[in-house]
Each structure stands twice: as C-alpha cells, then as structure tokens.
Structure 1
C-alpha cells in the first residue's frame, strides 16, 4: 500500500505526506449563500458516544462531532487530524504521535494527549461494556487482551501521554496498517471531565462536548440529528458547510420521494431503481464500490437451533440462494454476488478458489443443497423450519422474500421476522435468532477488518462460531510478513464451515444533489467529513 512505504520515513517526510485537508473550493467556483447539507439515515442512532457506537450511520455523525488522530481524504489516504505526524520505532512496535497545539474542545479547553489516553482506556475497560473493546486487541495495543478480560487495570494499557502534545502507543506486533485503524470512531478522544460530570447524559444535545468540525445542537431520536459549525475547531476558517442535518426515514422509497422534492441532498437508491434513475438523472445517480458485505448470519451457538449445528444444513442454505437474481433483478445497482466474506475491492485481497462458487453453476448448487439437506434428514417431505430476522427496510424485505422462495425449493420453510434496528441488533447480541440479516462495513481497507470478526474473541461474532483453526490462522496473520495467504486460508475455512451465508458485496448507490461537492469519489470506505463539503450556487 502507498502509505506503508512512508512508515519508515522520517517524521519530516511523513509530515509532508500528510497534508492538511479541508473544503477545497476550486478557483472560480461560486458558493451558495446557504451552506447546508441534509442526508438520509435509515435507522435511529443508538449512541453518540465514540466508545459505545457500533453503527455505520452513527460513525458518519461522530466523525463530524469528534476528530481522531488521522482522517481520510477522498481517495482514502490518511491526512492529519489531531496528529500532525508520527514516528515509528525500528522494531515497528512503538508509535509516537506529534499532536497539534491548536486543537480545542467545543467548550474551548485544549485537546491533549491525555484525552486519547482516557478514551482508549475507557474503550478497553470492562466497566464500559463496549462492543468495540476488541478493537484495542485487533490493534495489538500492549496489554489490551488482559485489560479487556479484567486481568489488568486500564492504566496498564499500552498508551501514555509523554506530554500534552506527544502521545506514545506500544503494540505487541508490527502492523503496517496500524495508522489506518486510527480513523475509526472508537479511537476518538472524549473529554473526561464532561463524561464524569454527566454520566450517560454527556452525549445529549447541548451537553455533548466534542473536538470535531461541528457541534450537536439537536438530536430527536429516530427523527433528526442537527449539527452546526464549531468555531473552536482548529481549521474552522476553512470549513464552508455551516449546518449538517441527518433525517431518519425508515422507508427508503419515502426517502427517495423526499430527495426528489428537495428535502434531502443525499439518499440511498432503492433496490431495482438505479437503472431508471441513472437514465433520468445521470449527474445525480452514482454507483461506486463500497467496503461492506451483506450476509445472513447463522446462530451456531448453544442458543441456536439444533439443525444449524450441522454443517451440511448450513452449506445447503448457502448453496440454494441464487445471488445473481438478488444482484441483477432485485438490487440492480452495481453490487456483486458474494461467495465469501471479505469485500472484493479490499486492497491486496484475492479470494481463494472455492469449489461451490467456481466449479458449480446455480442449478448444480441447488442439487447439491438438496443432497446435503437430505443427508441431514430434511427435505420436501420433512421440511426444515427456520426463522429469518431482518431490520426494517423495503430492500431487506425484498431480499428476504426472495431467499425464502429459493430455500423452499430444497425443503426449508422460512418465517420472516422484521424488527426495527435497535431491537434487531439487541436480539442478535443476545443470540435470540436462527438466521439474521447482517452487514459489516470495514473499519479500514485491509482484509483483517472482515476476517477478525469471525474469531472467537471478536465482539461482533453474534452467531458464536468458534473454531480453533480459524483463530490460529488469524493470530498467525498478525506476525506474517505477507498475511494474504493466511487470509485466503481463513476464507477457505469459512467456506468449509459456512457459519455465515454470503449474499452480496455492496456498492454505494446514491442520489446526490448536483450542487453538493466534496464527497469522496475514490474512497472504498466512503468516509466523508462535513468539513470537506460545500454547496455551489446554481
């Protein structure tokens, strides 16, 4: 990767590689008098707390209210956030970050290295009960596993403030992609005094203190989030967009209607409508690869149905689903059929050859599915009854209905259960499901962001797939000079054990208002920042 080469560069060279980024308005462009941006959310945001949030939509908001060590530009390259640059020790295990001295919280207090130390310790502390505590372990931060397990105190985590503007992090294994992991919201600083004074209420509008380009002025749960420009932000002079609003609309078709009426500046395109909208609105309809994979997670743990403990049943379910129909007839937005977990566009990743994907057509897969299900004792005369759970969305419903019809042909009766997002995720975390619609959007552009999720120590392995061989492969990948062959091996284990049913790899399929500029066009993570946006005059 391009940034990997700069890891051994001097701090000066690294500083030159990480040029500051804000709204880049070309010469001659006339800006609109009103600088506002309104975007769509499908579901209510569960938490505004960087160490608690787990949702992609929540991350889009938090990225504007808080700022971590680094940000990403429109091409996915790292640019300075609170950190101006960093140095790496010769053994690749000690990172020293040089922080800017003009970073401030929205209450005017300075942002210091201690704010990061507090946030990272808080993330790993079992008392916080963060689902993302495992991220510290994935980052290989020294003593993270012991702190998360409660065997060591958070103060023993491998992070310390050398002084107010120098942060030192020790990791146990050199990770070339470690800096890329620092754009994730769970690593953002939080103000200790505010958190301790207000407890769980510290994230309320009017109380929340952040260090991002915007402040939270309104949050009506399940309705809207309103953010306004933060004048204490270090680069406020270059922030053009004055106000950002997120509207929660559970029906994507209704959201599209409101976009076409001018109420939204960006919205997902509903399944099947991209070809028509691209023809009618060629400058507004956009489809680009997006670092997310759509699956049905299977509950193979103790609370899961007995049938799903049989690998033949799991394979039969996966084989019987026709991904081409889902992608080509239902979605029609540039998505790709998926037979594995890791997104095809991830940097340096190559999928291994998989017999069921590469050496069978769909008719053969269906016949094999019937055979496997029969071996497990199920079929048309003795159907297997399962429940498929999905969160509220017309698109998820269409895919679920199609999947149920495909599975019926091999002797599986699916009952479809629809829940709003919070209930859906709570049920998954409590293993209260048979099959559940799930999607994972990579936290960074490297295959481990997917593959680590299926380890036994993952905080998101809700299906409770525990496999010693898989764990070993992923642990070995951390110290491998080239982890790619091990990533292929991990994918092969998933294909052999089938704890998840891959459905498709995402594309970002959006309608975007023509006068909105600054959204990323070549970033597979689709990481965007309001501070980079501007609205042009008509």
Structure 2
C-alpha cells in the first residue's frame, strides 16, 4: 500500500472490505521493546477552538478530536485510506450514491453501539444553520444532496441526502460524482456525534465530566490554555491493539520555552523554533526532523467593504507580493526546509501541476523593480506612503515572519506596515469578521487534492476571510468537482490568482519537530499529518 494512490486504494476498499484490526496489529515493528510507561506528551501552540467535531476549526483541535472520535475512514502512516468505523464502502455505478458498511463492534465510551443514525445526526447537525458550524461549507463542498439549500436556510436539516438504511449501513446521496469524496470522510466535521449527550448537556457536552466519544481515547482532564489529557477508551473496538495509554497536550505559546522543556525531558515532541533547525539537527541528529507538509503560509488582503481602499488596486497587491524575498524567509528566518511559495497550492499536492508563473522565474531584484513600478503606478511613493496594519496570531515564528515582511516593504517600497498580534481565538474571530487590513493565514489540507486549498478562495467559501470574488475562479472550481481532468482547471485558477493576487503566498510548510528517540510510529510520510495516538508507541530506553 505504501506506493498506492488514495484513489486506487479507495477502489480496493470498495471491493475487499479491509478490516482495521489486521492493520493495527502491525504498527509496532518486530524486535521493539516497549516502554513500561506509555504516556505521550506533546506541545501545542494555542488552546484548541473546540472539541466538538462539528465545531472544531483548527489543527491543534482536530488532532485531539481525531483521538476522541472516529469517523467512517482513517488514514495510515502514508496517508492512504484505511477503515475506521466503516469496514469499507461501495459506490454506485454513477458515483452518486456511497454506501458505508459499519462495524458492529464499534461502541461509544458509555458502551452504547455506534450506529448509522449517529452519522446521520452528526452530518445533519453540521449543515444546520442553528449550529452555524465553521465548516458548513465543507459539507457543501462534499456535494451532499440538499446541503447547500439547508445551509442557506431554504430546507430543513432532515432533507440532507444521508440516511441509515439499517443500524450498520450508512448511505450518502451526492449531487455530483465527486471523485475524492471518500477522502473527505477523514475530516473531523464528518465524525459521529452522540445525540442524547448533546441534547442533555448543550454547549457543555465536551467537558470531561460529560463527554461521550467513540475514538481510541476519552477526555479525562481539560484546563483551558494549560493542558488536556486523554486516556484509552476501553470500549474502543481496537483497544487491544492500542499501545499509548495516556496523551497529554500542553499549551505552550512560546516556542523557545517549549524547546527548553523538551530538552529537560518534559515533552516527547515539540515544534522547532524558527531558525534553529540547522543547529539542532547538528546537535541532535536523531531527534530533529523536517519533512514536507500539505500546508501553506500566506497573508490575505481584506477586499471587503471594510478593507483599505488601497487594497482594491491590484497593482498594490502585486507590488507587496513581489517585494517579498521568500528565500530570506525560508533560508534565514525559518531554516526548517520550507519551500518558498509562488502558488497558493503546495506542489506536494497529489495530481497538482503548478503553472509556469512569470514571477517565480525572476531574480528578486527584478521582482523588486517591478514592485516599485506597480506601486508608483498606483499613486504611492515618498510623498504618499502606503500605510496599513498587518495582524497575526501570537507566536514567535509568526512575529519573525511579520517583522521580516514589514522591513522588506519599508526598505524597498517605503511602505509603513504596523504589526499587531492577537490571541488565537480572538484572531480567528476578527479575521472571520473582516476586522483586519492584512492578516496572516495558513491552511493544512483536509484531503490530498488541490481543491482543499483553492476552494478557500471560492466566493462562497466560509473561510474566504478576505472576501475575494472572481466568477471565473468559481466556475473552474465548480467544473473540477465533476471533471476527470482536474489538473488543468486548477492550474488556470492559480494563474488567475497570480493576476489578481488576493493573497500573498509566503512558503509551504515542513513538519519541523523535535521527536524524542523513544517515540515510535510518527507518520512522517503522511503529508497531511493526520496522526492518531493509537498508532504511536513509546520505546524502552
């Protein structure tokens, strides 16, 4: 399976009905002696947005939710689809109906069986305007019948194209034969939800004393902005093949403090602070790791009515983008193997063919001159300097990048950019409400296909925080949902993004971590970095 594409595996799954137990049994290599204490402790940057599968919207939160809840399908260490609650699925000949066969030994942590009705409830909940899920748009993107109408308030959630054929058969009706639909079921928004628990406890249902989950772990402790603890769920269908007993996530906002605590033995894993990977790799060659990730790092212009008038001029936007020396950002600031970005979509995305963009092949001096000319054409210069505020969420790495950008713009273009940082949840809210001028953005793919990035810039996307709107982009993205030749469509979208520059691509991510040598099973070959604590293990030292 290592070299098999996801789509090929999806086809295999639809006919062979692979079972999860056979896969799980092999995740500890032969000859490995396991440590007596199977506790995995890691650092997260911010308090997670939520532990509700239909509400969570950040990477740190999704990592926890993926442990607490299990969806229809999971991913293996290479990012291939493997069974979750579903043992497999079947697609109709026209690819408009998907039928998932659920395992009968899946249970909630209170002992109740996990049934198709739990998925029906969760998926209806995700599109219900009353919940206002931040990921409503994702459910619409899945092309589920009536999703768009329900989200718009024109139909009832009960009209969503999902049903429980019986307790262990879940059926989905689509409006278009979406070729990557099965991959989308690994996303947290599609995970099941316990209706009776939610109805009993309301917004407090995810508190440790109330929560009922169906994943490999249960939440036993949560101190906001400090720590959360999850422990093995004895009711989990594959509990006997789970090795890690306890997972502790510590919220540490300062990367250097986190590194100090890692080196003191308090953490099994932490992110490497910007600029420190080369020295740490030399000093700790077995612990410092860098590998490609399916994420982008960018700044988005506020193009809504609340945004600066200056940003309505494409020449201003292109000037700022051109003046960014990405090699300095990646090689001198980050120093972790991150590739510079000239497209919004990372080159590592399966099946994506980046266009040959003019600016990507230029020398930086050429870009700088072009930037000066464009800004002057827009009417800005020494006598009329461009001024704006740029915001980012609190992090030393984000601050370093923001400082570097502002200095580049000031030295090359005379631009006055004021920096402001915000706590994570405030940042998400302000950006989502267009209360910004230029804002940091980053996106990690929800599935390995270019649309997971480009759909963010669809006019109707729930995460189009800059409110960029281009009819041709919308048209191309809609065509791609049903096309067998999607690559040329995505390439054209990227060409339009270069011409319009609604966002400034800075770099594409690398996973740059310190991993303790006693931590086994980290999926460095999964570019999406969807990891599951149940697939990790601690090695005896």
Q: 2:127 aligns with which of 120, 124, 128?
A: 124
Partner residue, 2:65: 62
| Corresponding residue SS for 1:336 | coil
Q: Is the 8 A contact 1:19 1:79 kept in 2?
A: no
1:256 and 2:259 correspond:
yes
| Corresponding residue SS for 1:218 | strand
Classify 1:11/1:233 alpha carbon distance in 2 versus 1 (closer, same or farther; 3 Å): same
Deviation at residue 20 of structure 1 after TM alignment? 3.7
C-alpha separation in 2, matches of 1:416 and 1:158: 46
Q: 2:459 aligns with which of 456, 459, 471?
A: 456
Partner residue, 1:133: 136
Q: 1:329 aligns with which of 332, 351, 357?
A: 332
C-alpha separation in 2, matches of 1:517 and 1:44: 26
Deviation at residue 22 of structure 1 after TM alignment? 5.6
1:50 and 2:71 correspond:
no
| Corresponding residue SS for 1:232 | coil
C-alpha separation in 2, matches of 1:354 and 1:29: 49
Classify 1:19/1:487 alpha carbon distance in 2 versus 1 (closer, same or farther; 3 Å): farther
Classify 1:403/1:8 alpha carbon distance in 2 versus 1 (closer, same or farther; 3 Å): closer
TM-score by length of 2: 0.97
| Corresponding residue SS for 1:183 | coil
Deviation at residue 15 of structure 1 after TM alignment? 2.8
Classify 1:16/1:238 alpha carbon distance in 2 versus 1 (closer, same or farther; 3 Å): closer
C-alpha separation in 2, matches of 1:260 and 1:7: 42
Q: 1:311 aligns with which of 310, 314, 338?
A: 314
1:382 and 2:384 correspond:
yes
Partner residue, 1:279: 282
Q: How does 1:396-415 map to 2 (within 5 A)?
A: 396-408=398-410, 409-415=412-418
Partner residue, 2:490: 487
Q: 2:106 aligns with which of 77, 87, 103?
A: 103
Classify 1:416/1:6 alpha carbon distance in 2 versus 1 (closer, same or farther; 3 Å): closer
Deviation at residue 456 of structure 1 after TM alignment? 1.0
Classify 1:27/1:62 alpha carbon distance in 2 versus 1 (closer, same or farther; 3 Å): same
Q: 1:244 aligns with which of 240, 243, 247?
A: 247
C-alpha separation in 2, matches of 1:528 and 1:17: 16
Q: How does 1:288-303 map to 2 (within 5 A)?
A: 288-303=291-306
Partner residue, 2:368: 366
Deviation at residue 28 of structure 1 after TM alignment? 2.5
Q: 1:204 aligns with which of 203, 207, 225?
A: 207
C-alpha separation in 2, matches of 1:242 and 1:303: 49
Q: Residues 432-488 of structure 1, C-alpha deviation per residue, up to 9 Å, x if partnerless?
A: 000011100000111000001100111100000011111011001112121100000
Q: How does 1:43-192 map to 2 (within 5 A)?
A: 43-192=46-195
Deviation at residue 7 of structure 1 after TM alignment? 4.8
Deviation at residue 388 of structure 1 after TM alignment? 0.6
Structure 1 unpaired stretches of 5+? none
1:537 and 2:540 correspond:
yes
C-alpha separation in 1, matches of 2:114 and 2:107: 5
1:4 and 2:3 correspond:
no
Q: Is the 8 A contact 1:22 1:531 kept in 2?
A: no
| Corresponding residue SS for 2:205 | helix
| Corresponding residue SS for 2:453 | helix
Count of residues paired in the alignment: 537
Q: 1:393 aligns with which of 379, 392, 395?
A: 395
C-alpha separation in 1, matches of 2:407 and 2:18: 56
C-alpha separation in 2, matches of 1:18 and 1:72: 14
Q: 2:419 aligns with which of 416, 421, 443?
A: 416
Classify 1:521/1:328 alpha carbon distance in 2 versus 1 (closer, same or farther; 3 Å): same
Deviation at residue 383 of structure 1 after TM alignment? 0.5
Q: Is the 8 A contact 1:327 1:337 kept in 2?
A: yes
1:445 and 2:448 correspond:
yes
Q: 1:343 aligns with which of 346, 351, 362?
A: 346
Deviation at residue 26 of structure 1 after TM alignment? 2.2
TM-score by length of 1: 0.98
Q: Residues 153-177 of structure 1, C-alpha deviation per residue, up to 9 Å, x if partnerless?
A: 1111111000000000111111221
C-alpha separation in 2, matches of 1:424 and 1:8: 41
| Corresponding residue SS for 1:87 | strand
1:433 and 2:436 correspond:
yes
Q: Is the 8 A contact 1:227 1:244 kept in 2?
A: yes
Deviation at residue 115 of structure 1 after TM alignment? 0.3
1:502 and 2:474 correspond:
no
C-alpha separation in 1, matches of 2:104 and 2:19: 18
Classify 1:33/1:6 alpha carbon distance in 2 versus 1 (closer, same or farther; 3 Å): closer
Deviation at residue 127 of structure 1 after TM alignment? 0.5
Structure 2 unpaired stretches of 5+? none
Q: Residues 319-368 of structure 1, C-alpha deviation per residue, up to 9 Å, x if partnerless?
A: 0110000001111110000011001111111110111222x211111111
Calculate the aligned-residue CA RMSD, in Å: 1.3
Deviation at residue 3 of structure 1 after TM alignment? 3.3
Q: Residues 110-145 of structure 1, C-alpha deviation per residue, up to 9 Å, x if partnerless?
A: 100000000000000111111100111111111111
Q: Is the 8 A contact 1:382 1:411 kept in 2?
A: no
